[in-house]
A and B are shown apart, each in its own frame.
Chain A
Amino acid sequence: MGICNGMNLVFLAVLVGIISCDTLVAGQFMLARPIIAAPLIGLCMGNPYLGFLIGVCVELVWIRVIPVGSSIPPDGALTAVIAVSVAGAAKYNYGIDDFAAAILALVVSIPFGIIFKSVEIRMRFYNSRVAADIKTSVIRGFPGAVDKAVFFAVGRTFLTGAVFFITAHLILTLLPRQYWEIFDFLKIDTRLLMRYVYILCFTQLFETFVRWK
């Protein structure tokens, strides 16, 4: 499945929809952690190594960002899966190496993770209305309203994640060839650059366990 053609993109979108649900609304089994979600998407695109590279980076760089109370961190899972799909397509189309594809894809995917955060905030505001409707329905004698509302909430999250993924993928694959070949053009050693990104990952891990309380 080397390239993201129509059917493959729909299949990936379904997978991303399931991953989106796991982030908050259903389960939270860690399927939505970048270290698991990204290799899965990589596998579906025929390049699991790219998934591992991006998954480890997103997981560790943002490891200290946690959803405490009502705070909503940028969506790491969506950032990672968008990055893997775009990097996979770029590698297939332009023949760039894994490290260059991973770093360049992450650079452009992170803003989408931040944008999705605001989508999620809107969904949570909408949930306030749904919760009020449930209360009204219960008072009126419709106790099954909460089951229906939960079912629709899961469906809504699934669709939002899937549609957002397809949109982000289509936008990012429009990036010109020059962008993906910028490291070749500037003669940057991507393996060394990746090591510096790993050092940032280790610093975040170190901070998490040694200094962070």
Chain B
Amino acid sequence: MEVTENYRKVLEKVFFRSFFLQALWNFKGMQNAGFLFAIKPVLDFIYKNDEDKKNAYLRHMDFFNTHPYCASYILGCAAAAEVRYSKTRNAADLRDISGVKKILGGPVAAFGDSKIWGTVRPFAALLGTIIFFLFSKNVTFMWAGPVAAFLFYNIIHIGIRWRGIFRGFTQGESAFEGLFTGRGHKSFGYMRIIAIVLVSFLLVKGFMAEASSIWVKLSYPVFFVTLAVFVRSVSATALFYIVVVAGGIFARYCH
């Protein structure tokens, strides 16, 4: 579907409203109310009749849940499907509206959880951490860490939201092919490789840290290996308390 000047303005409103997609997250409909809130400008624009508007609102109060950033693609697709239905009043187009949400919600969520929560977010944190440790003697330079993490993360985050709405609207379901394959998809793999190199650098730097005795120096890799064994089976919170107690005993008697 083509984005005319009028639709561009409406889709921009959808873009800004998509930041509140999870404002009314609930256990029954999950993102249903948030989805309605985000797509509302499109519904208000295309349906002038109150009854049509009411039916359209109720359609979007059905269960919906996906990754909040990648939901923009579905918002764009659903908006295009609503526009099509408003013109044709065809039953098949009506089915497409809820169909696109039901069919794509799961795969898009899986993509977002693995790529955004599982790769981009830890990578941004790693970026901030690396800068923190590199400039650990200068608090002013340390600010580059959070700033770099914030910028890196939000360029991707806002980019996905913006592109998602317009691509979803213009290309429909085929917009997802670019999301799941292609250059964008490969870049997540590269990000992982860079992250492994950076984590290895942090580890080596950590093991080389100054120590009062050879036993203390040896304790760094021993601690790491021990924690690596238990990191999957013990919760992060429990591990933190164990490290504080065990590390405290070691720091008291072996230092």
Report which A residues bind B (CB closer than 8 A): 24-31, 33, 35-36, 39-40, 48-49, 52, 55-56, 59-70, 74, 103, 106-107, 110, 114, 124-125, 127-128, 130-132, 134-135, 138-139, 141, 143, 146-147, 149-150, 153-154, 183, 186-190, 192-193, 195-212
Contact = CB atoms under 8 A, between A and B. Distances in A.
Contacts of A65: 236
Interface in B202-255: 202-203, 206, 209, 211-212, 216, 220, 223-224, 227-228, 231-232, 236-237, 239-241, 243-244, 246-248, 250-252, 255
Contacts of B69: 28
Contacts of A28: 19, 22, 68-69, 157
Contacts of A192: 211-212, 216, 247, 250-251, 255
A188 B252 contact: yes
Nearest to A206: B199
A35 B125 contact: yes
Given A128-B27, A189-B251, A208-B195, 20 more contacts: A35-B149, A49-B142, A52-B139, A62-B237, A69-B65, A103-B244, A125-B26, A131-B29, A138-B58, A143-B54, A146-B57, A154-B23, A186-B252, A190-B251, A192-B255, A195-B220, A198-B206, A200-B227, A208-B118, A209-B122
Interface in B46-67: 50, 53-54, 57-58, 61, 65
Contact of B227 (A24, A56, A203, A208): A203
Contacts of B54: 138-139, 141, 143
Interface stretch (B94-102, B126-134, B167-175, B177-185): B126-134
B36 A134 contact: yes
B37 A60 contact: no
Given A25-B23, A128-B26, A207 B231 contact: yes
Category for how many chain B residues contact A: 35 or more
A200 B243 contact: yes
26 contacts: A30-B154, A30-B157, A31-B150, A33-B124, A59-B125, A131-B24, A131-B61, A134-B33, A134-B61, A135-B58, A139-B58, A143-B44, A146-B40, A146-B57, A147-B37, A149-B33, A196-B223, A199-B206, A199-B227, A200-B223, A200-B227, A200-B240, A205-B202, A207-B228, A208-B118, A211-B232
A205 B252 contact: no
In the A-B complex, the 6 residue pairs with the smallest Cβ-Cβ separation, listed nearest first, are: A196-B247, A127-B26, A128-B26, A66-B117, A203-B227, A192-B251
A95 B218 CA distance: 32
B243 A196 contact: yes
Contacts of B37: 146-147, 150
A35 B154 contact: no
A65 B192 CA distance: 18
B251 A131 contact: no
A124 B27 contact: yes
A138 B61 contact: yes
Interface string B17-35: 0011011111111101110
A35 B199 contact: no
Contacts of A106: 240
Interface core residue of A131, A198, A206 (most chain B CB under 10 Å) = A131
Interface in B119-159: 121-122, 124-126, 128-129, 132, 139, 142-143, 145-146, 149-150, 153-154, 157
Nearest to B54: A138
A62 B236 contact: yes
A197 B36 contact: no
Contacts of A141: 50, 54
Contacts of B195: 208-209
Contacts of A188: 248, 251-252
Given A147-B40, A205-B202, A30 B150 contact: yes
A210 B199 CA distance: 9
B149 A36 contact: yes
A141 B61 CA distance: 15
